[in-house]
Structure 1
Amino acid sequence: MTDGNLHPSAQRVADAATKLGLTINIVTFEHSTRTAVEAAQAVGCDVGQIVKSLVFTVKDEPVIALVSGANQLDTRKLAALFGVGRKQVERATAETVRSATGFAIGGVPPFGHATSTSIYIDKDLTQYDVIWAAAGTPNAVFAITPTALVRAVSGHVSDLKADPAAKAAN
């Protein structure tokens, strides 16, 4: 799974994967994989194959949205999943991200979080055979199939993608 020389945060991800019955190989780079573009360049894949782990609060409760690196999340769609207005959905602060997940922004993995939160998965990620997610640090990632990810996190696959045409019309 790993070489044993992982950063402690990446090791927590490796341990969480094992507990979930997953076999992953965490790849650590010398340079940042903090953004979807940086991660895609590092691993040599399409930016759409990168999993962005985004933390929002819905009615002040943390929620995680795993979004394709090619997409922006539509907060109206996330709000609709909870039956609330868009104004009740906000991007989480760095402090909230860390307290909810146990990880800093830029390295938040899709599992192994400090607290149990609802997880929603961008349906666009399911079109790929393999996707890449952060592994606890801003320069570590791992590959996983969308099916394995959905199963591991008990995620709700949903249409989360912002429609650029609708945004331009508003």
Structure 2
Amino acid sequence: MTPSNSHRPLTPEDLAAFIEQRGIEAEILRLPVDTPTVEDAARALGTTPDQIVKSLLFLIDGSPTLVIACGPNLISRRRLAAYFRLSPKRIKLANPEATLAASGYAVGALPPFGHRQLLPTLIDRQVLARGRVFAGGGAIRALLRIQAQEIARVTQATPLDLVEAPPSEDA
């Protein structure tokens, strides 16, 4: 990317170029409605929220790290902190400005790869159990159709158990 373009937001066209240049097996779907949330994306595609994969940027002791999980699941800051051997207070969800600065994409459109800079990536093991999934496609009216294993291959993500444990039925 040239210095003059380093501050412009990235687009689905940038993501498509990244996919083509690297021979990634994925397709960007253009949609007639906004899909900024997991529920919106699932509704637009006529699928279930667990087929939507979210990419969230966390600041781990100030450094950006991408975390990929199945849409309806909550990412556990406690589990992230344990992995990094830090206090949970050192784990922060990046705000929209930090997300845009580090990745080039807006919150709600963040793809799992093709960012402005190479981001260390963690992927929840539940994602890897899925086949075809849908992820952010670079704009709120674009989604990426891709196999979960292809996300793992392209990102070289570290697989971990990252989501909150579901509430116990005994509680």
- Which residue of 2 is the match for residue 123 of structure 1? 125
Choose which of 37, 41, 44 in structure 2 pairs with 1:42. Answer: 44
Task: State percent identity of aligned pairs.
Answer: 29
User: Does 1:101 pair with 2:103?
Assistant: yes
User: Which string of whole-angstrom CA distances, capped at 9 and with x for unpartnered residues, describes residues 130-170 of structure 1?
Assistant: 1101110011002111111100011111101112427xx8x
Gaps of 5+ in 2: 1-9
Cα distance in 2 between the residues matched to 1:127 and 1:45: 17
Distance 1:18 1:84 in 2: 38
Q: Which runs of 4+ in 1 moved over 6 A?
A: none
Give the whole-Å Cα distance in 2 for the aligned partners of 1:40 and 1:123: 21
Q: Which amino acid aligns with 1:62?
A: P
Structure-2 residue corresponding to 1:143: 145
Please tell me the root mean square deviation across aligned C-alpha atoms, in Å.
1.4
Q: Aligned pairs, how many?
A: 160
**Does the residue aligned with 2:27 lie in a helix, a strand or coil?**
coil
CA positional deviation for 1:19: 2.6
Query: Which of 129, 132, 135 is equivalent to 2:134?
Result: 132
Deviation at 1:116, TM superposition (A): 1.7
Structure 1 match to 2:80 = 78
Shift of 1:20: 2.6
Relative to the length of structure 2, the TM-score reads: 0.88
- How far apart are the structure 1 equivalents of 2:159 and 2:22? 19
